[in-house]
Amino acid sequence: MAILSAVRSGRLSRINPVLLVCDRENAPVLEKAREAGLPTLHLTPKSFPSKDDYEKEILAHLREKKVEAIALAGYMRLVGPVLIGVFPDRIVNIHPSLLPAFPGLHAQRQALEYGVRVTGVTVHFVDLQMDHGPVILQKTVPVFPEDTEETLVERLLPVEHEAYVEALDGLSTGRLHLSGRRVLWSAD
């Protein structure tokens, strides 16, 4: 909802959210989006014969809404070639680590188990590999000796929100573009 709040406050004035897609029927974000007046779509992947069929159904709804780009938030599935083929370099994701370190689930736990002193968040373009596409931006957060997975998750969350809004602002205003695998930012 940080993205929607940034849109409503004018910080992301060039972004017009038109649909929230969720794969979990009782996810709290669905009700929050509905309360905010954002149309929602719940699709259960297991209801489809294949991942491609699932993504084709999502794609049909995205086309109907004339979606130009996708921002993933809490989407815990690998995006496949159906969506990436239609939205190349126009799908972004946020991950709670300084990629390429600690991809996948439980990144905060991985950071603590490894013993890092600094972790952070990464906003990146999505490709066919998990937590792999070109990095748009990263923000750091210290790891304290007394940290638990829960305290680190809690401290990272506002940084994730800030980073995602900053990255989406750069994309929507044309201040950043992709050159090969490098993301280039222009001055304000």
Q: What is the pLDDT of residues 72-99, one digit of tens each?
A: 988 888 999 999 999 999 999 999 999 9
Q: Which helix (H) or strand (E) holds 5?
A: helix 2-9
Q: What percent of the chain stands above pLDDT 90?
A: 90
The Cα 146–Cα 148 span in angstroms is: 7
pLDDT of residue 140: 98
Residue recorded with tokens 């050159």 = 179
Tokens representing 82 are 């159906």
The Cα 76–Cα 23 span in angstroms is: 9
User: Does residue 22 sit in helix, strand or coil?
Assistant: strand
Q: What is the DSSP string of 47-109?
A: GSSSHHHHHHHHHHHHHHTT---EE-SS--S---HHHHHHSTT-EEEEESS-TTSS-SS-HHH
Question: Looking at the chain, how many residues does it have?
Answer: 188
Q: What are phi and psi of 38, to 5 degrees?
A: -90, 125
Tokens representing 76 are 């815990």
**In angstroms, how far is CA 115 from the centroid of its own chain?**
26
Question: What is the pLDDT averaged over residues 122-146?
Answer: 97
- Parent domain of 170: 2-185
Q: What is the CATH number of the domain that holds 68?
A: 3.40.50.170
pTM listed for this prediction: 0.94
Catalytic residue among 42, 61, 95, 177: 95
Question: CA–CA distance from 148 to each of 82, 115, 173 (Å)?
Answer: 38, 12, 38
Q: Please tell me the total count of domains within the chain.
A: 1
Q: Of 147, 138, 142, 140, which Cα lies nearest the Cα of 112? A: 147
Question: What is the pLDDT averaged over residues 107-119?
Answer: 98
Please check the confidence at residue 187 and state whether its pLDDT lies above 90. Answer: no
- Contact residues for 50 (Cβ-Cβ < 8 A; gap 6+): none
Catalytic status, residue 95: yes
The Cα 4–Cα 17 span in angstroms is: 7
